Amino acid sequence: MPSEKVLESKKQQVASLKERLEASVAGVVVDYKGISVEDDTKLRKELREAGVEYTVVKNTILGRAIDGTSLADMSSVLEGTTAIATSKEDYVAAARILNKYAESSNSFSIKSGYLDGEIISLEKIASLAKLPSREVLLATVLNAFNAPIAAFARAVQAIVDKEGEAAPAAE
């Protein structure tokens, strides 16, 4: 029988993970088996820079954290080695980074994922991974808004330049 100290520690881990899942907009559960230390370090750095929290979790801890939530059906994939990546703001960062790594690895794979508290299919995770980052999307939208204004400014400048030219001399 585990000691009270161990049980309390596990209860805190479950509560902390449950809170993290509730605070996130998106998450991806992966099987990290076969990843080298060097690759894991690079992966963690890339995820951290994108604002994604990535941790290795025990299946039982994650199972208890999702028990009784809309993510409870995810318990069917909780076997083997498990890690979870969650993001509080970016819907696609975790999917994009982890999917890219999974495609280049034979043993690392995506098990499941969720958006706004709802489990999504592996196909949706792959399609999310193909979306550009939030910054690229914002730049594209802003460019679309700027294009008409820039064209108008060039037209006005062309009129000003043309009127500034000297009139041809009459013969």
Quote the CA–CA distance of 124 and 8 in Å, as a whole number.
37
Q: What is the CATH number of the domain that holds 66?
A: 3.30.70.1730
Assess if residue 17 is contained within a domain.
yes
Assess if residue 166 is contained within a domain.
no
Q: What is the pLDDT of residues 73-99, one digit of tens each?
A: 898 899 999 999 999 988 888 999 999
Least confident of 9-13, 83-87, 149-153: 149-153
By CB neighbour count within 10 A (0-12 exposed, 13-18 middle, 19+ buried), where does 53 fall? middle
Assess if residue 155 is contained within a domain.
no
- Enumerate residues 6+ apart whose C-beta is below 8 A from 15: none
Q: Identify the residue with better confidence: 75 or 140.
A: 75
- Enumerate residues 6+ apart whose C-beta is below 8 A from 161: none
pLDDT of residue 140: 78
Assess if residue 118 is contained within a domain.
yes
pLDDT of residue 52: 93
pLDDT of residue 148: 79
Q: How confident is the model at residue 1 (pLDDT cuts 50, 70, 90)?
A: low
The encoded tokens of residue 9 equal: 């520690």
Q: What is the pLDDT of residues 40-76, one digit of tens each?
A: 999 999 999 999 999 999 999 999 999 988 888 898 8
Assess if residue 136 is contained within a domain.
no
Beta strands 118-120; 52-56: pairing state = unpaired
Nearest to 87 by CA among 39, 23, 42, 32: 23
Give the count of domains, the chain: 1
Q: Identify the residue with better confidence: 28 or 148.
A: 28
Assess if residue 92 is contained within a domain.
yes
Q: Is 86 helix (H, G, I), strand (E, B) or coil?
A: strand
pLDDT of residue 85: 94
Q: Which domain holds residue 44?
A: 4-131
Q: How confident is the model at residue 153 (pLDDT cuts 50, 70, 90)?
A: confident
Mean pLDDT of 112-123: 89
Assess if residue 44 is contained within a domain.
yes
Mean pLDDT of 157-162: 82
pLDDT of residue 47: 92
Assess if residue 62 is contained within a domain.
yes
Q: How confident is the model at residue 156 (pLDDT cuts 50, 70, 90)?
A: confident
